[in-house]
Amino acid sequence: MGGLAMLAQTVTRPVLAGEHRPIKPGRDSVLIVVDVQNCFTAGGTLAIKDGEEVVPIINRVGKAFENVVMTQDWHPRGHASFASSHPGKKPFESVQLSYGKQVLWPDHCIQGTTDAALRTDLDLPQAELIVRKGYHREVDSYSAFMEADRRTSTGLAAYLNVHGIRDVFVVGLATDFCVANTAIDARAAGFDVYVIEDATRAVDLNGSLAQAWTDMRKAGVKRIQSTDLVLPA
Ligand SMILES: [Zn+2]
Q: What is the DSSP letter of 146?
A: B
Among 93, 81, 73, residue whose Cα is nearest residue 139: 81
Q: If the chain, 233 residues long, is cut into consecutive pieces of 10 residues, what is the mean pLDDT of each piece?
A: 48 53 94 98 97 98 98 98 97 95 96 98 98 96 96 96 98 97 98 98 95 98 96 85
Q: What is the DSSP letter of 210?
A: H
What CATH code is carried by the domain that includes residue 49?
Answer: 3.40.50.850
Q: What is the DSSP letter of 169?
A: E
Q: What is the distance of C-alpha 139 from the center of its chain?
A: 19
Provide CB contacts within 8 A for 42, sequence distance 6+. 51, 52
**Within a 13 Å sphere around the CA of 75, how many CA atoms are in the beta-carbon half?**
27
Q: Answer whether 82's CB lies under 8 Å from 105's CB.
A: yes
Q: Would residue 87 count as lying in a domain?
A: no
Cα of 27 vs centre of ligand 1, distance in Å, is 31
Q: Would residue 18 count as lying in a domain?
A: no
Q: Answer whether 143's CB lies under 8 Å from 186's CB.
A: no
Cα of 140 vs centre of ligand 1, distance in Å, is 7
Q: Would residue 55 count as lying in a domain?
A: yes
Global pTM reads 0.91
Cα of 72 vs centre of ligand 1, distance in Å, is 9
Mark whether 35 is an active-site residue: yes
Q: How many domains does the chain have?
A: 1
The C-alpha atoms of residue 164 and residue 27 are separated, in whole angstroms, by: 8
Q: Which domain holds residue 43?
A: 24-76+116-228
Q: Would residue 60 count as lying in a domain?
A: yes
Q: Would residue 165 count as lying in a domain?
A: yes
Q: Would residue 92 count as lying in a domain?
A: no
Cα of 24 vs centre of ligand 1, distance in Å, is 32
Q: Which residues of 111-125 are buried (b: 16+ CB within 10 A; e: fewer)?
A: eebebbebbeebebe
Q: Would residue 82 count as lying in a domain?
A: no
Q: Which residue among 109, 133, 167, 185 is the active-site one?
A: 133
174: preceding bond cis by omega (within 30 degrees): yes
Q: Would residue 16 count as lying in a domain?
A: no
Mark whether 133 is an active-site residue: yes
